[in-house]
């Protein structure tokens, strides 16, 4: 579950309800990973209260603050019984720097392989792709050096995910990345919106829930000058296939 940030926590709480239900409902055992957040214990307390109110049986915190802690067997073991993993928002580069390539990252990937629901909001969304936006400014026009990319967890192969997408005008920076790396599928997720990826047989099927939309850039046939553009000049990005995917509501 790739959540674009600012998910509704007060009213319908649709996305969080769906996460708890997918994690087992009344039998859900949820591990919250708040490493990206600059907040203290209160960020875990908020999600602990929310998930328990939505019916989860148990909520535990898994918060490494260094790569050494991300290798702590006791901390890693907390994921063994989890039916759902939730990564909070904050600084995705911090999350990547402390978690990726550690035993905790391996445990997240192993949990994903055995069917545990992995969700993340904002920073916790970005890190789910193979490539991750580290930081960068807003704007609709892709420009050279507009953003930088770091490694993600790779739950979704050959993708790059951005969040708060429409609200913070992040079209340009995602286009810059796919122009430079046309093998990547660009996925932008709006606030209070989730891209839900289900593994069915050998396929990955994406559905959308929430108030906004998921924007997909398919650059497989792109024509671009990204390999020769200088400094901060605008990039040519022609032939990118654009998909805007809102929630699909059943008609009555």
Instruction: Please give the positions annotated as active site.
Output: 122, 164, 191
pLDDT, one tens digit per residue, over 146-205 is 999 999 999 999 999 999 999 999 999 999 999 999 999 999 999 999 999 998 888 999
Q: Based on the structure, what is the number of domains in the chain? A: 1
Predicted local distance difference test score (pLDDT) of residue 248 = 85
Task: Give the pLDDT band (50/70/90) at residue 252.
Answer: very low
In a domain, 190, yes or no: yes
Q: Which residue bears the tokens 């919250």?
A: 32
In a domain, 252, yes or no: no
Give the mean model confidence (pLDDT) for residues 36-42. 96
What range defines the domain where residue 141 resides?
A: 2-246
In a domain, 238, yes or no: yes
In a domain, 251, yes or no: no
Tell me the chain's radius of gyration from C-alpha atoms. 18
Q: Give the predicted TM-score (pTM) of the model.
A: 0.96
C-alpha span between 154 and 72 (Å, rounded): 22
pLDDT, one tens digit per residue, over 87-126 is 999 999 999 999 999 999 999 999 999 999 999 999 999 9
Predicted local distance difference test score (pLDDT) of residue 201 = 86
Looking up residue 8, the CATH number of its domain turns out to be 3.40.50.880
165, 190 Cβ separation under 8 angstroms: yes
């Amino acid at each position: 579950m790739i959540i674009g940030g600012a998910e509704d926590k007060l009213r319908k709480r649709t996305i969080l309800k769906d996460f708890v239900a997918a994690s087992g409902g009344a039998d859900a055992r949820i591990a919250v990973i708040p490493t990206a957040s600059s907040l203290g214990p209160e960020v875990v307390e908020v999600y602990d209260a929310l998930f328990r109110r939505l019916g989860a049986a148990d909520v535990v915190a898994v918060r490494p603050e260094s790569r050494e802690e991300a290798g702590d067997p006791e901390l890693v073991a907390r994921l063994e019984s989890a039916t759902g993993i939730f990564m909070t928002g904050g600084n995705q580069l911090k999350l990547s720097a402390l978690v990726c390539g550690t035993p905790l990252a391996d445990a997240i990937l192993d949990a994903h392989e055995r069917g545990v629901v992995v969700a993340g909001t904002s920073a916790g969304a970005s890190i789910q792709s193979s490539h991750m936006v580290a930081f960068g400014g807003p704007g609709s026009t892709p420009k050279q050096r507009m953003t930088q990319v770091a490694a993600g967890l790779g739950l979704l192969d050959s993708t790059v995910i951005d969040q708060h997408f429409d609200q913070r005008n992040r079209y340009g920076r995602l286009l810059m990345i796919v122009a430079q790396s046309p093998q990547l599928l660009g996925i932008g997720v709006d606030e209070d919106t989730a891209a839900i990826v289900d593994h069915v047989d050998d396929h990955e099927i994406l559905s959308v829930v929430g108030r906004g939309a998921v924007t997909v850039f398919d650059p497989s046939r792109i024509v671009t000058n990204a390999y020769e553009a200088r400094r901060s000049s605008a990039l040519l990005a022609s032939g990118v296939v654009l998909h805007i995917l809102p929630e699909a509501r059943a008609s009555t």
